[in-house]
Structure 1
Amino acid sequence: MESEKYSKELDVAVRVVHMACSLCQRVQEGLVSTSSDQVKSKDDDSLVTVADWSVQATVSWILSDIFGCQNVSIIAEEDVQTLSKADSADLLAAVVNTVNECLAEAPKYGLQRPDKVLGTSQILEAISRCNSTGGPTGRHWILDPVDGTLGFVRKDQYAIALALMEDGELVLGVLGCPNYPMKKEWLSYHHEYYQNMSLSSPPTSDSWEKGCVMYARRGSGKAWMQPLVRGPKKLEWPNSARLIRVSSINDPALATFCESVQNSNSNHSFTAGVAHTVGLRKQPLRVYSMVKYAAIAHGDAEIFMKFARSGYKEKIWDHAAGVVIVEEAGGVVTDAGGRPLEFSRGVYLEGLDRGIIACSGATLHGKIIGAVYASWDSSNL
């Protein structure tokens, strides 16, 4: 039955992302400070933690175990070079320990645990298996093990993102957002602040405080959200899911606009110009990671714009899962020229026209595209 295509892949992806969320929360609880051995600096100055490598190893091992190593191609952010260096022995030991702790809990998510504890070489192999460069043919998983590592280290917003592409087309997307607040107004606060606030007001029985997994299958016209599996009591799988839908606001004056926190790889002054031209009145919501896509899919924001600074190239794992979820929830995602994003040309979003625009609907999207052209012409005079 055509409508059920990719249902097994989606089911496995949702479960493994739930596992990855749990792993990240455990690592985060142990992350006392950014000066600890658990954080390494990558060449591009972004932080890489035990969580990045551990999530990559876990996802790689589960997908390979279920679908067979020879059938699984994974495009992912981390490689094993840093981990394999002599001075990384403690870091590697922490990763091995973290992965095995996580895999031991696989049955809680309806997945098989390994027969025996995985050794260092098996874990390095699982990480290094994620070395695909994608392309227009075949089936490729696209993984960002911890998107928004700075948000993760600061105990703010971050995401675990997994998508599947077949013959150049995205077919499913899953986003784990461990700190995503269920109250829209808390998105603009630092996570620890609303954690303290939530202690003063007990949660109602039909809501959960924070943390979810959002997911969608291409062509279904539906996007879903589940609360995280948490606590010592075993939550029966399948977990409860509810449909999510983009906001119906199409007046720019009422719209909430998201952008990246850091301006090192995005042009805040240009987006401010576009926002002014189109009549956006609210202050931009600066959020780490693909949680910006989650906010649009969930109806908590209407617009996300990103215009890269010159020399920065967008990577497919920073957008793939979010794009599927926003589009299936009723939103629109294109480049600034109004064209669909191209995920089939390697690890970068090649041929991108100026930037990326995600909106809750076609009306707002059209207005933003028009404002981009107007602003671009005036800024390039």
Structure 2
Amino acid sequence: MDSPYSHELQVAIHAVQAAAKISQLVLHSDDKGTVDKEDLSPVTIADFAIQALLTATIHGIFPDDSFVGEESATDLRNNPALLNRVWELLLRLQDDEAKALCKLPRSPDDMCEMIDRCGFGEPGGPESGRVWVFDPIDGTKTFVRREAYAINVALLEGGKQVLSVVGCPTLPADTNGPIDNSTVDCTGLGSIVFAVKRYGTYIRQLVETSGEPVPRKIEPHAASASVADLRAVSCYNMLDSGVDDAHEAIMARLGITTKGCDFLAWVLRWVALGLGLANVTVWVYKKRERTGKIWDHAGAMLLFEELGGKITDIDGKEIDFTAGRLLRKNHGFVAAPACIHDIVLKAVHDVLHEQGKAHLLA
């Protein structure tokens, strides 16, 4: 892809390829060094190592850019044994050809500093300049089960998405869907899905076999869709944060009778939309104060938007990536082809009013 972000794109792709190798070193291990964070979500040694690798690599090439990532190094600083495991995992890349394209932290202390550069980073407002956003492993719960997960790398400029690179080690590059958490790429090659603002969405093999894989451009399937064409992606029976009965009623109102794609990881839901395996998703949180996290959505949303998709919250407001690490100015998500987004949004409002849940709307 020839774009103003060609250099950034190549750096991010190489970093994601190396990050995927780290993840796969851990994926089939029974002991992933898993600890629970304050919000009770799990984090593994792969999460820490990947965030350190991504930050060290991109900071080394773009030293003036800022960073936001899911993890901080607090648990590592408080647990020397865990810190050593993460450091030893990174060192396993030293003799790998992927290391030549990336930069490793210089020491365990430098590793912690790289992690914290993201873990305490804020996206900032419209004047914030260039900010990279990382989710080292989105879908850690399914990763621990050796199922689907994604590595998310996004670049924001002034709070707007300009670049998305998502590594999908379990997702075949030639999949036709529907797909779910248990989908496995039997070839072991995986895929990378990427997009640049105004230049489209593409997919290619994650693992290079003979020469550089040729990316395939995804056709803008959402540009002229009708309600009859809607196919859903959601998360079924794995999260207690959403209003499941409302989601089911909304899909029924829209005439969607099949479950479609099913992913715990939000990034993979955006990937499914970007690949045309689905073209609608709705998420209503049970409580108004619940919010999304920037690393679960930034960049990955661009994959769908580049194909004619429109994404708002359930109030119809644009997603605001300048609000902070949490998307505090938005509640829930409604994604659909732009030409019929208003119809989907109306179905959301009608169902919530009918179910006595209008208090979840602004």
Common fold, TM-score beyond 0.5?
yes
CA distance in 1, matches of 2:13, 2:228: 36
Q: Does 1:190 align with 2:182?
A: yes
Structure 1 position 110, deviation (Å): 6.2
- Between the aligned partners of 2:293 and 2:284, the Cα distance in structure 1 is 13
CA distance in structure 1 between the partners assigned to 2:353 and 2:161 by the alignment: 33
Normalised by the length of structure 1, the TM-score is 0.84
Matched, 1:239 2:227: no
* Cα deviation code 1:15-58 (max 9, x no counterpart): 211211121111112x21xxx36111112111100111011000
* Aligned residue type for 1:365: H
1:66 equivalent to 2:58? Answer no
Of 320-329 and 4-13, deviating more is: 4-13
- AA matched with 1:372: V
Runs of 4+ in 1 over 6 A off after TM superposition: none
The SS at the match of 1:95 is helix
Q: How many residues align?
A: 348
Cα distance in structure 2, aligned partners of 1:355 and 1:113: 37
Shift, 1:4, TM fit: 3.4
Residue 132 of structure 2 aligns to which amino acid in structure 1? Answer: W
Contact kept in structure 1, 2:132 and 2:153, CA below 8 Å: yes
Distance 2:32 2:165 in 1: 30
| Among candidates 347, 368, 371, match of residue 325 of structure 2 | 347
TM-score for both structures, normalised by structure 2: 0.88
- Larger % of helix: which? 1
Structure 1 residue runs of 5 or longer lacking an equivalent are: 199-207
Alignment correspondent of 2:110: 122
Distance 1:129 1:358, change over 3 A: same
Question: Any conservation in 1 of the 2:194–2:201 contact (CA below 8 Å)?
Answer: yes
Kindly provide the amino acid, as one letter, of the partner of residue 258 in structure 1: V
Contact 1:58 1:103 in 2 (8 A): no
Q: Distance in 1 between matches of 2:326 and 2:335?
A: 18
Residue 305 (structure 2) aligns with: 327
Q: How big is the shift at 1:300?
A: 1.0
Task: Tell me the residue number matched to 1:79.
Answer: 72
Correspondence for 1:300: 277
* 3-state SS of 2:101 partner: coil
* Partner of residue 133, structure 2: 142
Determine helix, strand or coil for the equivalent of 2:292. Answer: coil
For residues 111 and 209 of structure 1, do their structure 2 counterparts lie closer, same or farther at Cα, with a shift above 3 Å needed?
closer
Pick from 327, 333, 342 the counterpart of residue 356 of structure 1. Answer: 333
**Structure 2 residue runs without a partner (length 5+):** none
Contact 2:310 2:341 in 1 (8 A): yes
Q: How far has the Cα of 1:218 moved from its partner?
A: 1.0
Q: CA 1:102/1:329 → structure 2, altered by over 3 Å: closer, same or farther?
A: farther
Output the amino acid matched with 1:123: M
Query: Which residue number corresponds to residue 366 of structure 1?
Result: 342
1:54 to 49, 55, 70: 49
| Aligned residue in 1 for 2:39 | 44
C-alpha distance 186-26 of structure 1, shift in aligned 2 (>3 A) = farther
| Alpha-carbon shift at residue 366 of structure 1 (Å) | 2.8
Q: Which residue of 2 aligns with 1:201?
A: none
Listed one character per residue, the Cα deviations across residues 209-244 of structure 1 (whole Å, up to 9, x for unaligned) are 662111111122x111110115xx6x54x4321112
Asked if the contact 2:203–2:215 (Cα under 8 Å) also holds between the matched residues in 1, the reply is: yes
Q: Compute the RMSD of aligned alpha carbons.
A: 2.3
**1:113, 1:347 → 2: CA distance?**
26
1:371 deviates by 0.3
CA contact (8 A) 2:221 2:307 kept: no
Change (3 A) 1:378 1:113: closer
More divergent stretch after superposition (36-45 vs 140-149)? 36-45
Matched-pair contact (CA < 8 Å) for 2:14–2:102: no
Matched, 1:211 2:190: yes
- Of all paired residues, the percent bearing the same amino acid is 26
| C-alpha separation in 1, matches of 2:36 and 2:87 | 19
How far is 1:90 from its partner? 2.5
> How many Å separate the matches in 1 of 2:20 and 2:353?
43
What is aligned with 1:17? 16
Please tell me whether residue 179 in structure 1 is matched to residue 180 in structure 2.
Answer: no
Amino acid at match of 1:239: P
